Amino acid sequence: MNGPDHYQEAERLIDSTQDQAGNYENSPNLAAALAHAVLALAAATALNDTDPNGHGMPLDDCDLWQHVAGVETNQQRESRRS
């Protein structure tokens, strides 16, 4: 499981703990979500490197992070709708 996978799993688990009133139930899923969120943060931190010599985050990893956690541009939003 890579960093973006951990991020998505954390979001999924958090959503699964929310009841119809919007409150979060204290459950094992909430603890698991926290663990996945920490692992996602660790991966993003470890890969984040703004080295101008090109030794930073590999492009494939950057694309994965952009896909799961990035801000959607207007162009991406419009292409998704069509």
- Span 29-82, pLDDT tens digits: 999 999 999 999 988 876 666 566 767 777 787 778 777 766 666 677 677 666
pLDDT score at 65: 75
Q: Within 10 Å of residue 40's Cβ, how many Cβ atoms?
A: 24
pTM: predicted TM-score of the whole model, two decimal places: 0.62
Domain that holds residue 27: 3-81
Number of domains observed in the structure of the chain: 1
d(CA 50, CA 64): 17
pLDDT score at 25: 78
